[in-house]
Amino acid sequence: MSEERTLNFLEQIVEEDIANGVNGGRVLTRFPPEPNGYLHIGHAKSICLNFGLAQKYNGKTNLRFDDTNPVTEDTEYVDSIKADIQWLGFNWAQELYASDYFEQIYNFAVQLIKKGLAYVDDSTAEEIAISKGTPTEPGKGTPYRNRSVAENLDLFERMRKGEFKDGEKVLRAKGDLASPNMHMRDPIMYRIKHAHHHRTGDNWCIYPMYDFAHGQSDSIENITHSVCTLEFIPHRPLYNWFIEQLGIFPSHQYEFARLNLTYTVMSKRKLLQLVNEKHVTGWDDPRMPTISGLRRRGYTPASIRAFCERIGVQKRDNMIDVSLLEFCIREELNKTANRVMAVLDPVKLVITNYPADQVEEMTAENNPEDPNSGTRTLPFSNTLYIEREDFMEEPPKKFFRLGPGLVVRLKNAYIIKGEGFEKDADGNITTIYATYFPESKSGGDTTGLNVKGTIHWVSAAHAATVEVRLYDRLFKVEDPGSEEGDFKSYINPDSLQVISNAYVEPSLLKAKPGERFQFLRKGYFCVDTDSTAEKVVFNRTVTLKDTWAKEAKKG
């Protein structure tokens, strides 16, 4: 999007830095995912922001895996994260891993011990918490705070060698126990974890904490603008303190509001629960707010980037309506998706005055929004399928579709008039009978009939049978994460509707996974990866109109 808009606050900061010659005008950002889950739409915002800032100011962006917690991380996640970023349309300058800096970060810790700024503490987690005091009362510290440099160096080395068990010792910074900022009260720098790491294997049994890994990694890479979410504001003084005490490259941290979206959850921990407890079919379930879920649902990279651009960058937490995301894909697909006919809830329609052995090839425009999209042909015959809801036995006034005595146009074909119908023993309509007006063919209609409604159809003998999956919100409430009790008790039980026998025009048999269409009057659909040679499966990406907004207005 190239429309003029005012600079967001991060762009203002970068422009000022460039104007003042900070770092010689160089801009290097990073995107630092922890490989403990798949990326979601919130990460997309961070990706668009970090890569976007660099692109705008001739800079670069590193992809750095923040892999300092061996227990939850996995290479499956690393691979999916890389694929998702590339799919979104961004290229990183370097692929880096915080774990590659373990030796250097260890040496930084030794440096701080030597300066008397870090010590090994044998206290339990509980004792440490108590020794830190409260926000209104300074901490008293633990008995280990005044260990000598020599003793600390020895103990820290033995921690590394694996002489102690998990939790037996930690390395803490010697901060300020009276600081109003609790993060400055001797924060933990290293903990012991005898766990296998997905990259460093069993080389390490001590791992640096976020606060003693993130800023150090930024600095090692000479990151100029380290952008993170608001909850890290209280960590910023510590971020700066470590960098100052170590005298290393002065990266700077800036914070923006994380993206929250209605009717979903965004924490990887919660998304993992949905996957593990099989509330969804996987990380890429089309109902998930993950990038892979949105991709499978039919979202395009451009629509997600447009969404991130539209919501902008804020300094205060807010909740974005998911219908804005839906608006962005609908707007794009309206311009790009070919129109096709698909009948999701079929009922048979017989045109009694059309020759039973005749088949006509009707011409249909692929996309009226795109003059270059061309046309295709559709077989037409005396037996069709139409949508059950397009026929009413006793239609009310202003029902501009089919009923006994009512006329309607069959899209790209003829005008027909409802004549009668047959029902089964349960009272369900099995066949509708109609007559057609031979002079009413689309493009050459000479009847002068004034017909208000147009409905879609497929020829019964030519239609392909496909599976169609319709999705609704995954949760029944706007903010399931903030409701009382288990967020999973707010899952919408009707979030997936499977139609195993929908009829579509024969051209769709050739559709390939990922291809997108507008099913006339039914919404935008894409071919799912579950499709087989026997059966094509379609996902509804989004409806044509925002049905939720309408319902909300009705109240």
With CB under 5 to 8 Å by kind, the binding choice for 42 among Mg ion, ligand ATP, none is: ligand ATP
Please say if 268 is a catalytic residue: yes
Is position 522 annotated in a ligand binding site?
Answer: no
Asked if 418 and 391 count as a contact pair (C-beta separation under 8 A), the reply is yes
Tokens 């774990």 label which residue? 99
Helix (H, G, I), strand (E, B) or coil at 178: coil
Binding to ligand ATP by residue 46, rule CB under 6 A? yes
With CB under 5 to 8 Å by kind, the binding choice for 258 among Mg ion, ligand ATP, none is: ligand ATP
Binding to ligand ATP by residue 468, rule CB under 6 A? no
Q: CB under 8 Å to 75, separation ≥6 — which residues?
A: 35, 198, 199
> Which candidate in 60, 193, 258, 388 is catalytic?
258
Helix (H, G, I), strand (E, B) or coil at 191: strand
- Minimal CA–CA distance to 461: which of 409, 551, 383, 399? 383
Q: Rg for the chain (alpha carbons), in Å?
A: 31
As measured in angstroms, the least distance from the Cβ of 259 to ligand ATP is 4
Is position 43 annotated in a ligand binding site?
Answer: yes
With CB under 5 to 8 Å by kind, the binding choice for 235 among Mg ion, ligand ATP, none is: none
Is position 225 annotated in a ligand binding site?
Answer: no
Mask of contacts with ligand ATP, 262-291, x by CB under 6 A?
A: ----xxx-----------------------
Neighbours of 405 (CB within 10 A): 10
With CB under 5 to 8 Å by kind, the binding choice for 52 among Mg ion, ligand ATP, none is: none
Mask of contacts with ligand ATP, 66-105, x by CB under 6 A?
A: x---------------------------------------
DSSP string, 108-134: HHHHHHHTT-EEEE---HHHHHHHT-B
Binding to ligand ATP by residue 228, rule CB under 6 A? yes
Measured distance CA(282)–CA(91) in Å, rounded: 26
Measured distance CA(105)–CA(107) in Å, rounded: 5
- Minimal CA–CA distance to 521: which of 429, 453, 427, 428? 453
List the 407-410 sheet strands across, edge first.
454-455, 407-410, 415-423, 429-436, 346-351, 383-387, 458-459
Tokens 């706007």 label which residue? 478
Mask of contacts with Mg ion, 30-59, x by CB under 5 A?
A: ----x-------------------------
Return the ∠ at Cα 410 (arms to 406 and 412), rounded to 5°: 150
Interaction residues for ligand ATP, span 3-42 (CB under 6 A): 32-34, 42
Please say if 16 is a catalytic residue: no
Q: Select from 8-16, 260-268, 413-421, 486-494 the region that touches ligand ATP (CB under 6 A).
A: 260-268
Is position 38 annotated in a ligand binding site?
Answer: no
Measured distance CA(130)–CA(146) in Å, rounded: 17
Mask of contacts with ligand ATP, 175-194, x by CB under 6 A?
A: --------------------
As measured in angstroms, the least distance from the Cβ of 455 to ligand ATP is 43
Closest to ligand ATP by CB, 323 or 377: 323
Please say if 145 is a catalytic residue: no
Q: CB under 8 Å to 291, separation ≥6 — which residues?
A: 38, 39, 40, 41, 43, 44, 84, 87, 88, 304
Is position 7 annotated in a ligand binding site?
Answer: no
Is position 210 annotated in a ligand binding site?
Answer: yes
Element (DSSP H or E) covering residue 325: helix 322-336
Closest to Mg ion by CB, 66 or 505: 66
According to DSSP, residue 170 is labeled: E
Q: Select from 27-35, 154-162, 335-343, 489-497 the region that touches Mg ion (CB under 5 A).
A: 27-35
Using CB under 6 A, which of 10, 18, 38, 43 touches ligand ATP?
43
Distances from the Cα of 86 to the Cαs of 81, 82, 553, in angstroms?
Answer: 9, 6, 39
Using CB under 6 A, which of 145, 258, 279, 462 touches ligand ATP?
258
Residues tagged in the binding site annotation for L-glutamine: 66, 210
Q: Binding residues for ligand ATP, per CB under 6 A?
A: 32-34, 42-43, 45-46, 66, 228-229, 258-259, 266-268
Residues tagged in the binding site annotation for ATP: 34-36, 40-46, 229, 258-259, 266-268
Residues tagged in the binding site annotation: 34-36, 40-46, 66, 210, 229, 258-259, 266-268
Would you name the residues annotated as active-site residues? 34, 258, 268
